[in-house]
Chains A and B, each alone.
Chain A
Amino acid sequence: MSSDAHHADPAVGRDMIDFAADFMPALQAAKAKVAQGGTLQGKRVGVALTLEPKTACLVEAIASLGAEVAVLGSSNSTKPAVANALADSGVKVFAEAGSTPERSAELRELFIDHKPELLIDDGAFNVRRIHTGRRDALESLDGVAEETTSGVRPLRNMAAAGQLEVPCVAVNDARTKLMFDNVYGTGQSVVMAILDSTNLQMQGKSVVVVGYGKVGRGIAAAARGLGARVTVTEIDPVEALAAHHDGLNVATIIEAVTSADFVITASGIGHSLIADHVAAMPDGAIVAVGGAGPPEFDPSMGVSLVWGDTVRDHIRELKTPDGKTVFVLSNGYCANTSAGEGNPIEIMDLSLALQLRAIDYLASNNLPAGVHLLPREIDDEVAASQLAAAGLKIDTPTEAQVNAAEQW
């Protein structure tokens, strides 16, 4: 929504950060909790998340706990006004909106030069880079907190191969993350990003959701709630059966896309939607990515497609060999962060509170190398803090209930 004049103004960024902070009670509670232990005092912390107001709130919380913070933002999702506001408050910012791939790679190296002791990573890009080309930064790295499904997967693969040399907390797998960020957050924000960039209606649309994990469920629910007919494509029979029970159509991807108005990927796996699928879509279909960035949507795989004009902000033509035009959102990057402001503030309140608690957990425990879950108590405390802020109370189990649950 920001106009060009506001685009890079740090004062605008500051206001947006402060607005977000008012809707982040769980992060405030997490900050108060971590402050008690003082574990982040003097630590070098690296934060590689979508650089926008909510992330800025986390960064400022970490800085206020005595850490020296560096931030890495991507070329397609960095909000310049926010980056500038953070830089003004003394944070090391490595983010340039619209930077070339070469410059983006350079920024990553500069970020790693910060030699973070604690790293909050998104997609495991930095931890993988540190394990391969930047082993000079490995020794000082005490632990990593990973944000997403598509980042936890390679970490587990590395661990299984005996290649993961640091403790990593799979923040993504915490219930307060997975059940909220992935479902409600991505569901709302991906669907809204599509509607905001196209100015089209959802009512009566034929929507294909590729993948029925947490993200796919959220997207399907939001699209259906707004009046779409949803078809799910899956490779997992259990998830497909769940979609069937949720009242959605289930079909193979090549069959489903032939009548699609919107095709939204939510698989988190590379090459899930490829050029051959695009060629099977009707003229005018719109492709958006809700899972991970490239190559989840891989227009180079299969028949040969040709990119055309950018016809609206965030919308680009992709031409099929038989003369059809399909429209792609944000060049196949995540629609919600590229064509929108990412997940809603209150959702990121939960995810980022967990991130803060995760680096505190890493700093206060000497965990072995490998992938670790965030302890249940931390998960519960973060959820409880947002319930408390909403003025909602829950029950505690009675003795009889506890006993009943323990019987066999």
Chain B
Amino acid sequence: MSETVASRSRIKDPSQAPSGHQAIEWARRNSPVLDGFVRKKVNDGSLRGKRVAVVVHLEAKTAFLATVLADAGAHVVAAGSNPWSTRDNVAAALVERGIEVHSTRGSTNEMWEADLSRVGDTSPDYVIDDGGELTIRMARDKPKLYAQLKGVSEETTTGVVRLRELERLGRLPMPVVAANDAALKHMFDNRFGTGQSTVQAVLALTNLRMAGKRFVVVGYGWVGRGIAAYAHALGARVTAVEVDPIRALEAHSDGHEVADMTTALSTADIAITATGGIRAITSRHFDALKPHVVLANAGHHDHEVDVPALIGQADSVDEVRPGVTRYRLGSKPVYVLSEGALVNIAGGLGHPVEIMDLSFSVQALGCHYLASNDLSPGIHQFPLELDKAIATAKLASRGITLDHLDEDQTDTLSEILDADTYQSWGNE
């Protein structure tokens, strides 16, 4: 079995497996929910023999998720959702554990496309997707296999938007669980996870100080909120740029400055994009940039900082530190981190382990929910009781106890809490 898996896989170097195992073990150690409550729950036989494709940034935490699904009896095939985030040692360790992998770090775009295609060709029953990357390609390139998909669990805001678009076009023949919309995912992963790890990556790549910086965050969704909060906590003065008046008002109420792009960028020492769109910082903004400004992206696409436009206008392009590229616009140096790719993943270790413990618990339970229920085609909410079960398991792992309502304390309060939860958390 293992040899077949190895020969089917495409990885960099099998000899890197030992350090990959160590990294996966560290992830396991710090993933009490996935390794406890979730492992037990998915192990009920409903995933036995099912083919599950995991197309998420292929590093230690994702690898641990893959092993939990494999331990539950699934045939797991893994690829990276971005060619720059794969850890070759982790890929090697997975293959050694009998999981088929198609990914190498820094592969060309063509190679990455070929990897996704190979994963699609395994005819997965279920896809754990990130950005809808595999699902969309299967819809486009493999209509027959696409029609046989039994379900998709989607990780990101961007991916859910893309899959909703497919649904609108009448091209979503299978049930999809919007894992991203789970409270335990976007409230934690997008805000705390991306927030902390983005700030971390910016500081690690540049060795700059946050205290006293003029810091611009473009987009004040969950990701932008988290980044702004931690930049502020470390002493930066934050300006948020928004196109949505409610979010702009929220940023203002959080104590940040709010301004239009040109005004904001003209003050920026560091500017981070977190819009989930494309070309958030582009040619028409370049004149406003101060010399030595640091630009980075925390949104899903690698095109939020318009690097092609910078290349087009720059007099010189040099990597001045690992992961830091300097573009000279006339006499003005502008720095871009990790070539505009997701800076926390391409320029750092990605999200903290404990955050991914929650996110991947949602993904694993999302996949299990698809496999153990006969859901109709279309996009489904992640069940609130599963959200709550994950939170409860996490709290228990920390030895934290909750209060409870007695019968004489209004019998509608718990319903109000649930309604609030959906209204405020579900609409992102």
Do A225 and B230 have beta carbons less than 8 Å apart? yes
Do B233 and A225 have beta carbons less than 8 Å apart? yes
CA distance A227 to B23 in the complex (A): 25
Tell me which residues across on chain B come within 8 A of A6, comparing CB atoms.
322
A295 → chain B closest CB, angstroms:
28
Segment at the B interface, from A40-48, A122-130, A195-203: A195-203
Do A346 and B208 have beta carbons less than 8 Å apart? yes
Tell me which residues across on chain B come within 8 A of A222, comparing CB atoms.
233-234
B129 at the interface (CB under 8 A from A): no
B86 → chain A closest CB, angstroms:
15
Do A184 and B235 have beta carbons less than 8 Å apart? yes
Do B209 and A15 have beta carbons less than 8 Å apart? no
B6-27 contacts to A, CB under 8 A, are: 22-23, 25-26
Partner of B200, one of A54, A196, A341: A196
Do B318 and A188 have beta carbons less than 8 Å apart? no
CA distance A53 to B322 in the complex (A): 13
A329-386 contacts to B, CB under 8 A, are: 340-342, 344-347
Do A311 and B333 have beta carbons less than 8 Å apart? no
Partner of A199, one of B26, B212, B319: B26
Do B196 and A344 have beta carbons less than 8 Å apart? no
Tell me which residues across on chain B come within 8 A of A196, comparing CB atoms.
200, 204, 348-349
Do B203 and A201 have beta carbons less than 8 Å apart? no
Interface string of A286-321 (1 = CB under 8 A from B): 000000000000000000000000011000000000
Partner of B347, one of A1, A23, A224, A312: A1
Interface string of A227-239 (1 = CB under 8 A from B): 1000000000000
Do A192 and B347 have beta carbons less than 8 Å apart? no
Tell me which residues across on chain A come within 8 A of B354, comparing CB atoms.
200-201
A1-26 contacts to B, CB under 8 A, are: 1-3, 6, 12, 15-16, 18-20, 22-23
B83 at the interface (CB under 8 A from A): no
Do B26 and A311 have beta carbons less than 8 Å apart? yes
Which residue of A has the minimal Cβ distance to B235?
A184
B41 at the interface (CB under 8 A from A): no
A177-204 contacts to B, CB under 8 A, are: 184-185, 188, 192, 195-196, 199-204
A223 → chain B closest CB, angstroms:
10
A195 → chain B closest CB, angstroms:
5
Known contacts being A19-B321, A199-B26, A225-B230, is A344 close to B207, with CB within 8 Å?
yes
Do A312 and B208 have beta carbons less than 8 Å apart? no
CA distance A54 to B235 in the complex (A): 21
CA distance A222 to B233 in the complex (A): 7
Partner of B209, one of A188, A203, A204, A340: A188
A32 at the interface (CB under 8 A from B): no
Do A312 and B211 have beta carbons less than 8 Å apart? no
Which residue of B has the minimal Cβ distance to A223?
B233
B353 at the interface (CB under 8 A from A): yes
Tell me which residues across on chain B come within 8 A of A312, comparing CB atoms.
22-23, 26
Tell me which residues across on chain B come within 8 A of A345, comparing CB atoms.
206-209
A405 at the interface (CB under 8 A from B): no
Tell me which residues across on chain A come within 8 A of B211, comparing CB atoms.
184, 188
Interface size of A in residues (CB-CB distance below 8 Å): 42
A402 at the interface (CB under 8 A from B): no
B210 at the interface (CB under 8 A from A): yes
Do A195 and B207 have beta carbons less than 8 Å apart? no
Do B25 and A311 have beta carbons less than 8 Å apart? yes
Tell me which residues across on chain B come within 8 A of A23, comparing CB atoms.
208, 292
The total of Cβ contacts below 8 Å across the A-B interface reads 106
Do A15 and B196 have beta carbons less than 8 Å apart? no
Tell me which residues across on chain B come within 8 A of A342, comparing CB atoms.
207
B252 at the interface (CB under 8 A from A): no
Interface string of B401-421 (1 = CB under 8 A from A): 000000000000000000000
B396 → chain A closest CB, angstroms:
14
Do B292 and A226 have beta carbons less than 8 Å apart? no
Which residue of B has the minimal Cβ distance to A392?
B212
Tell me which residues across on chain A come within 8 A of B235, comparing CB atoms.
184
B127 at the interface (CB under 8 A from A): no
Known contacts being A200-B353, A227-B192, A344-B208, is A15 close to B321, with CB within 8 Å?
yes
Do A225 and B193 have beta carbons less than 8 Å apart? no
Do A204 and B398 have beta carbons less than 8 Å apart? yes
B355 at the interface (CB under 8 A from A): yes
B62 → chain A closest CB, angstroms:
13
B9 → chain A closest CB, angstroms:
24
B225 → chain A closest CB, angstroms:
13
B295 → chain A closest CB, angstroms:
15
B258-305 contacts to A, CB under 8 A, are: 292
A195-219 contacts to B, CB under 8 A, are: 195-196, 199-204
CA distance A204 to B326 in the complex (A): 37
B123 at the interface (CB under 8 A from A): no
Which residue of B has the minimal Cβ distance to A191?
B234
Do B209 and A201 have beta carbons less than 8 Å apart? no
Which residue of B has the minimal Cβ distance to A53?
B207
Which residue of A has the minimal Cβ distance to B398?
A204
Interface string of A139-154 (1 = CB under 8 A from B): 0000000000000000
CA distance A226 to B354 in the complex (A): 14
Do B352 and A20 have beta carbons less than 8 Å apart? no
Which residue of A has the minimal Cβ distance to B354?
A201
Do A192 and B203 have beta carbons less than 8 Å apart? yes
A404 at the interface (CB under 8 A from B): no
B320 at the interface (CB under 8 A from A): yes
CA distance A200 to B351 in the complex (A): 8
Tell me which residues across on chain A come within 8 A of B353, comparing CB atoms.
199-201
Do A22 and B333 have beta carbons less than 8 Å apart? yes
For the complex of A and B, 8 pairs with smallest distance between CB atoms: A225-B233, A344-B209, A201-B352, A199-B349, A184-B211, A346-B209, A341-B207, A15-B320
Interface positions of B (Cβ within 8 A of A): 22-23, 25-26, 29-30, 60, 192-193, 196, 200, 203-212, 230, 232-235, 292, 318-324, 326, 333, 347-350, 352-355, 398
User: Beyond the given A15-B321, A192-B200, A199-B350, could you list 19 further A-B residue pairs with CB under 8 A, ordered by the A residue number?
Assistant: A15-B320, A16-B321, A18-B320, A22-B292, A22-B333, A23-B292, A184-B209, A184-B235, A188-B210, A188-B211, A195-B196, A196-B200, A200-B354, A203-B192, A222-B233, A311-B22, A312-B26, A344-B208, A345-B209
A-B contact pairs, 9 of them (CB 8 A): A3-B322, A53-B207, A184-B235, A188-B210, A199-B353, A201-B196, A225-B234, A311-B22, A312-B22
Interface positions of A (Cβ within 8 A of B): 1-3, 6, 12, 15-16, 18-20, 22-23, 53-54, 184-185, 188, 192, 195-196, 199-204, 222, 224-227, 284, 311-312, 340-342, 344-347, 390
